[in-house]
Amino acid sequence: MSNLFIETNRLILRELQADDRDGFFLMDSDPAVHRYLYQTPIQTIEEADEAIRFIQSQYQQYGTGRLAVLDRETKAFLGWAGIKFIEGPMNGQSNFYEIGYRFAQRYWGKGYATEATKAIVAYGFQQFPTDTFYAITDIENEGSRNVLEKSGFQYQGNFDYDGLPVTWYVLSKEDWAKQHK
């Protein structure tokens, strides 16, 4: 996924870079952002650097990963969105592509997550050898569930992920193509 660059009407999606650290830190140190996650907020800028390096290593290892989402006009860091390759088993699936996103709280409710997710899915079905994308979200995270459903994902049920009750969503390439005729 080297030098990936996606533009939408309002957004730029590109590989995370070291200079995204301040925006990444502001987002990932916010307890509200972590309300529905199995992780705790980061505490230091060094943890932001480490998280960015980890995501960058996924680009090399899997050819995919989470992307920085920037405001197209101001270039402000809004959050991240992207495709992650999951090797290990999750809800009975292994070796699959998962769609995910995370945005700084001040950018919630503006349609950015849906816009980024739709762009990532379109790119993914064109570029990756998969017929299906999966996504999970906390069972109580209505905002995230709305993003997935607006992006064409279908709810498939609930399961337990590391002690957290989550929902399982699926979007097949066939269903996506029907939605985009």
174 occurs within a structural domain = no
Q: Looking at the domain assignment, is residue 137 inside a domain?
A: no
Is 123 part of any domain? yes
Burial of residue 109, with CB atoms counted within 10 A of its CB: 0-12 exposed, 13-18 middle, 19 or more buried: exposed
> How many domains does the structure of the chain reveal?
1
Q: Per the domain annotation, does 48 fall within a domain?
A: yes
Cβ-contact 3, 65 below 8 angstroms: no
Mind listing the pLDDT tens digit for each residue in 79-134? 999 999 999 899 999 999 999 999 999 999 999 999 999 999 999 999 998 999 99
36 exposure class (CB count in 10 Å sphere: 0-12, 13-18, 19+)? middle
Question: What pLDDT sits at residue 2?
Answer: 52
181 lies in some domain: no
**Residue pLDDT, tens place only, 43-92:** 999 999 999 999 999 999 998 999 999 999 999 999 999 999 999 899 99
**Whole domain around residue 31: which residue ranges?**
5-131
Q: Which residues contact 100 (CB under 8 A, 6 or more apart)?
A: 66, 81, 82, 84, 135
Buried b (16+ CB within 10 A) or exposed e, 65-87: bbbbbbeeeeeebbbbbbbbbee
State the CATH number of the domain containing residue 125: 3.40.630.30
77: in domain: yes
| Residue 38 forms part of a structural domain | yes
Structural domain includes residue 180 = no
Q: What is the pTM of this model?
A: 0.95
